[in-house]
Amino acid sequence: MIKKDKLVWIYTKMNEIRKFEEKAWKLFEQNKLRGSVHLYIGEEAIAATVISLLRDEDYITSTHRGHGHGIAKSGDLKSAMAELMGKETGFCKGRGGSMHIADLKKGNLGANAIVGAGIPIAVGGALAAKLKGTDQVAVSFFGAGASTQGAFHEGLNLAAVWDLPAIFICENNKFAISVPVEQSTSVEDICVRSKSYDIPGIKVDGNDVLAIYAAMEKAVKRAKAGKGPTLIECKTYRWKGHWTGDPEVYRTREQVAEWVAKCPIKRLRKYMIYEKIATKKELDDIETAAQAAVDEATEFALSSPEPDPKNGDG
């Protein structure tokens, strides 16, 4: 059983991520963002639950679809929104944008526009923790498409050889841009690739907070005990296109609707009410507060200054 305060934290982060991404979509349509964005709507349970088991000093690496990871790790909606708008008050002073958000103070080693490129960076973080003798862990988030990259296999192999405290989270949302996973991957489940490196591979429902939490808790304990890495595959789905201009001709409306009906936020809400962990009023208040926080972050970003070209080094 996950304690109430932990579940409330997860529910809060899930709602903050959802509201943030919905706002980002609207801002894109209003031409107030720098370039396109890759939205995390539908996958919120993964980032919120995995990061609920981490501390500030633990590391994460993220992806081009990284807003959710950054929000859950840092909790700073204002800096995140400002970075999307290319403002001086953003995490990277407006110079990184949507796909390159980092927050070293909170252990976010950065999102990465190159598919799979965050995996070896997380392995480096895990190696640093082992060499320093700390109990830090390093988590790498990536999609199913990244599991066909050499960096995935090189990263898992090295982490396994050296028994590094690394946790690999595959967010399998069914597509690599527009290509269905089954057309680009030789295995049905990405997690079975862990067998090649003699490490645990766990498959979970990526919309089920309880299942993700149980798998992640086990992986963290293994990592801190010096027993090496774990690969966790979270089966999920992105509600929006690959990016904000995606025509989405490669999937049906019926398929999208099927997954929207499996909303991870509604699922956790139903569970918390049924188990009397929280009341409808408490959860409504969390949702309202999340929207207010995102609105405040948006106003902060809109009123923030543009980067000064003279400060080219950031």
pLDDT digits (tens, 9 = 90+) for 290-302: 999 999 999 999 9
Can you tell me whether residue 249 is helix, strand or coil? coil
Question: Domain total for the chain?
Answer: 1
pLDDT of residue 314: 47
152 found inside a domain: yes
pLDDT digits (tens, 9 = 90+) for 67-114: 999 999 999 999 999 999 999 999 999 999 999 999 999 999 999 999
CATH number of the domain bearing residue 54? 3.40.50.970
pLDDT digits (tens, 9 = 90+) for 246-287: 999 999 999 999 999 999 999 999 999 999 999 999 999 999
229 found inside a domain: yes
Do the beta carbons of residue 229 and residue 170 sit within 8 Å? Answer: no
Domain that holds residue 39: 4-304
312 found inside a domain: no
Structure confidence at residue 312 as a pLDDT band (50, 70, 90): low
255 found inside a domain: yes
Do the beta carbons of residue 24 and residue 101 sit within 8 Å? Answer: no
pLDDT of residue 37: 94
pTM of the entire structure?
Answer: 0.96
Answer whether residue 220 shows pLDDT above 90: yes
309 found inside a domain: no
314 found inside a domain: no
What is the DSSP pairing of strand 138-143 with strand 201-205?
A: unpaired
Structure tokens given for 25: 């979509």
10 found inside a domain: yes
Cα separation, 78 vs 80, in Å, equals 5
Smallest CA-to-CA distance from 297 within 76, 106, 15, 40 is with: 76
Element (H, E) at 82: helix 77-84
Listed range (29-33, 127-131, 163-167) with the worst mean pLDDT: 29-33
311 found inside a domain: no
